[in-house]
Amino acid sequence: MRATLLTAPHEISITEVDFPTVQNPGDAVVTITATCVCGSDLWNYRGIRQIAQPQLTGHEFCGVVTEVGDEVTTVKVGDFVVSPFNTSCGECAHCLAGMHSSCAHKEVFAMGCQTEAVRVPYADGTLVATPEPPAPELIPSLLACSDVMATGWHAAVSAGVREGSTVAVVGDGAVGLCGVLAARQLGASRIIAMSRHADRQALAREFGATDVIEERGAEGAARVLELTDGVGADAVIEAVGTIEALQQAGACARPGATIGYVGVPVGVELALDPFFRRNIGLRGGMAPVRAYLPLLMDLVLTGKINPGKVFDMTLPLDQVAEGYAAMDERRAIKVLLEP
């Protein structure tokens, strides 16, 4: 079958690999209906993070179960399932505490998911099936629950967004936009999206943003203070991961607020003093997607959220190189791939 291989910065191509099979009694094999390109895939693509050898890529997918091991009980052949970006056993202390992204038996999909089928270890603790086959138009939104929607949700939950909150959102990529959607669902009454791209501003408003600020850094924070009578935001979502974005998030926050940060802070060393002086908390990290997945899938299936709108480009898997290029060049927010 076809799979996506990164061989060097900006060198993405289709390669042939064996169709996966069940190896252990807890495995399932999922034939992929839709997969996609993640902002974090771009680190390797851009050479920011060096790869030691050619790498099979991708970690987001949904699809149909085509084989299960003898011990699998919660999904069966024919089920439509969504997978988090890592496996989880569902039984260790971390999974039981809802921290599936730190599962003691965590595995990443080393064979990549921008492909036709995936072997899923710990299928019972990892996959979530829909009650019935979903309507085709729901596929993008279900796929988004595999990572970006769950990550935006994690940011909002980590930031302590609740009924009536004023929330600032730093970052207008797919995760930041899903953070807007999450904040709305969690009852925020005011959501200030920080974005300077018209298409993303429009989607932010559609997802529930009440205000859009184009300024960045100290200027952006000053605008948030202006909009909040000098107080600052009750909660801040940070979905970029750079030191500038974290500082901007801190400056937007009111004293005592928490930043829910989900942008991977690669190499960031943060001066804590300004956060300490104003009691600005920092919570977040790799989202425990599995913990949120049943709720998020239900919100999608009942039409309450439509995070699939972050996919503004859909390509056949064979054109994966164009998908990476479009995201790299910011021609697309997020690219869906159909095998």
Contacting residues toward a copy of itself, per CB under 8 A:
93-94, 97-99, 101-102, 158, 229-231, 246, 254-256, 258, 261, 264-273, 275-286, 288
Q: Closest CB to a copy of itself among 84 and 339?
A: 84
CB of residue 236 to a copy of itself, shortest distance in Å: 13
| Burial class of residue 17, CB neighbours in 10 A (0-12, 13-18, 19+) | middle
Indicate the residue among 17 and 42 with the shorter CB distance to a copy of itself. 42
* 131 vs 244: CA distance, rounded Å: 43
Provide the minimum distance between the beta carbon of 94 and a copy of itself in the complex, in angstroms, as a whole number: 5
Residue with token string 């690219």: 335
- Closer of 198 and 272 to a copy of itself (Cβ): 272
**Comparison of 98 and 131: residue with beta carbon closer to a copy of itself:** 98
* Smallest separation, CB 271 to a copy of itself (Å): 5
Closer by beta carbon to a copy of itself, 68 or else 257: 257
Supply φ then ψ for residue 285, to 5 degrees.
140, -160
- CA-CA distance, 31 to 26, in Å (whole number)? 17
Residue (267 or 294) nearer to a copy of itself, CB: 267
177 vs 170: CA distance, rounded Å: 10
Residue 245 C-beta: closest distance to a copy of itself, Å: 12
Buried b / exposed e over 88-127, threshold 16 CB at 10 Å, is bbbebebbeeebbbbbebbeebeebbbbbbbbbbbbbbbb
Q: Are 262 and 154 in contact (CB under 8 A)?
A: yes
CB 239 within 8 A of CB 262: yes
Compute the least distance from the CB of residue 328 to a copy of itself, in Å.
23
Q: Which residue has the tokens 């529930």?
A: 208
Please state the closest distance from residue 206 (CB atom) to a copy of itself, in A: 29
